[in-house]
C-alpha cells in the first residue's frame, strides 16, 4: 500500500502549479539549491533556467518573479512543518512532551 501526501498551496503564489509537471519540480528543487548556494540577491531566473536546461521564459510561466518563488518555497516548508508537528504530537497528552517533540522537529 502506497501512502502519498500532497500539500495544497495558495494558487495566488504561482502562475502554473509547479508540482503538476516535471519542469515545475525541477524549478523548485534547483531554486532551493541555487538560493542556498548564491544567496537570494545573486539568484536570478536566468541562472535558474541555465542550471536546469530550460529558458528563462519557462520559469516565468510558473512564477511572476523570484520573490514569489521564495514565498512559495517558504510557505511550502512551514506548511510541511505544521503537518509534522500535528502528526507527531496528535496522541501526546503531556504538554512538556509535545514541546520536546516540537523543538526536536524544528531543530533537526
Q: Which pLDDT tens digit goes with each residue over 19-51?
A: 999 999 999 999 999 999 999 999 999 999 999
> What three-state secondary structure class fits 71?
helix
Distance between CA atoms of residues 57 and 46, nearest Å = 9
- Is residue 75 pLDDT above 80, yes or no? yes
Q: Give the helix/strand (H/E) hosting 82.
A: helix 66-89
Residue 34 lies in a domain: yes
- Is residue 8 pLDDT above 80, yes or no? yes
- Is residue 1 pLDDT above 80, yes or no? no
Q: Residue 34: its pLDDT value, please?
A: 98
Q: Which of 103, 75, 105, 54 is nearest to 8 (CA)?
A: 75
Residue 93: which CATH number?
Answer: 1.10.357.10
Residue 89 lies in a domain: yes
Mean pLDDT score, 5-23:
93
Q: Residue 41: its pLDDT value, please?
A: 97
- Please give the grid coordinates belonging to residue 69: 518563488
Provide the number of structural domains found in the chain: 1
Amino acid at each position: 500500500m502506497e501512502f502519498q501526501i500532497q500539500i495544497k498551496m495558495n494558487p495566488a503564489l504561482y502562475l502554473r502549479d509547479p508540482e503538476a509537471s516535471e519542469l515545475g519540480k525541477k524549478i523548485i528543487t534547483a531554486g532551493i539549491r541555487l538560493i542556498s548556494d548564491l544567496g537570494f540577491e545573486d539568484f536570478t531566473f536566468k541562472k535558474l533556467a541555465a542550471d536546469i536546461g530550460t529558458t528563462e521564459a519557462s520559469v516565468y510561466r510558473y512564477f511572476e518573479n523570484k520573490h514569489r518563488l521564495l514565498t512559495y518555497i517558504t510557505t511550502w516548508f512551514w506548511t510541511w512543518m505544521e503537518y509534522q508537528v500535528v502528526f507527531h504530537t496528535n496522541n501526546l497528552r503531556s504538554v512538556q512532551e509535545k514541546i520536546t517533540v516540537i523543538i526536536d522537529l524544528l531543530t533537526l
